[in-house]
Homo-oligomer: A and B are copies of this chain.
Amino acid sequence: MDEWFTELHGLNASDDIGLTFRIKEILYSKKSAFQKIEVYQTYGAGKMLVLDNAIMFTELNEFSYHEMITHVPMMAHPFPENILIVGGGDGGVLREVVKHLGVRTLELVEIDKMVVEVSKRFFPEVAKGFDSPLAKIYFEDAVKFISKTKKEFYDIIIVDSTDPVGAAKPLFEVDFMQKVKWAMKEKGIGSMQIGSPFFDEKNIVSILNNLKEVFSIVMIYVASIPFYPGGLWSFAFFFFLFDPFTFFRENVCLKMEDAFKYYNYEIHKASFMLPSFVKRYIK
């Protein structure tokens, strides 16, 4: 077998551009109740997880996404204790959160149990966060879950979802964001992936506008992720009181630097410094 898997850039970008991988073997391909789940053995990038034809990650480079959606909010908070991960069924964000000392409660709410099972089976290095005795996993709709949580409980809420289509669409709407606000402490910080700065301008602006209806301040930060369209990805950082820098724990970053492949104290700052074309359209 010598076939290629191609992900077209889709969304606001064009379906006339794509990333392509030579495939050794299809290791898994099934439809869950929510999406098509596929695992490919690629020649160039190890195993690859694909949901509804969109590359989630490859073994070669899953670190930059998982580190950047996690440690930027975690390190900006002086004492993050109660953590909620929305989505993140592959376990990558969980693995990053448990690197931090001082976490007291750690919950993950994932709508699709099959993603967790597939990740545990094919990506043990990503899924190993599930082994933490702290981690409580809920398989349900995040919008429903967060409606039932305690008021102002979470220090950090990380929304690690697929693109704003299909099952993940509600996570990008104002109704859900209001529930996130309800569940998050006033000193809490949230992060979420919001798309490609080069290709998803329309979506990014619309998601930021939704967040701004709810949170005092919404910022955007970026990270290099080779196998996402355009190679650069953006995240929203939203909060009421704790901005990315005032309580930034630079010393903890330095102490933990061996634990990270992408993130470090300089990257924390650099990730908020945006190319001019992005600064213009988010203004």
A residues near B (Cβ < 8 Å) are 6, 9, 13-22, 42-45, 61, 63-64, 197-199, 222, 224-226, 228-232, 257, 260-264, 266-267, 269-271, 273-277, 279
Contacts and interface: CB of A to CB of B under 8 A. Distances in A.
A267 B261 contact: no
Tallying the copies of this chain within the complex gives 2
A44 B224 contact: no
Nearest 9 pairs between A and B by C-beta? Answer: A231-B231, A14-B44, A16-B44, A16-B43, A266-B273, A270-B273, A270-B270, A16-B22, A226-B230
Nearest to A259: B276
Contact of A224 (B16, B20, B262, B275): B275
Of the listed residues A197, A222, A266, the one surrounded by the most CB atoms of chain B closer than 10 A to its CB is A266
A67 to B, nearest CB: 9
Contacts of A262: 275-277
Nearest to A198: B226
B266 A274 contact: yes
13 contacts: A9-B44, A14-B45, A17-B20, A17-B45, A18-B20, A224-B232, A226-B229, A228-B231, A231-B232, A261-B276, A262-B275, A263-B276, A270-B270
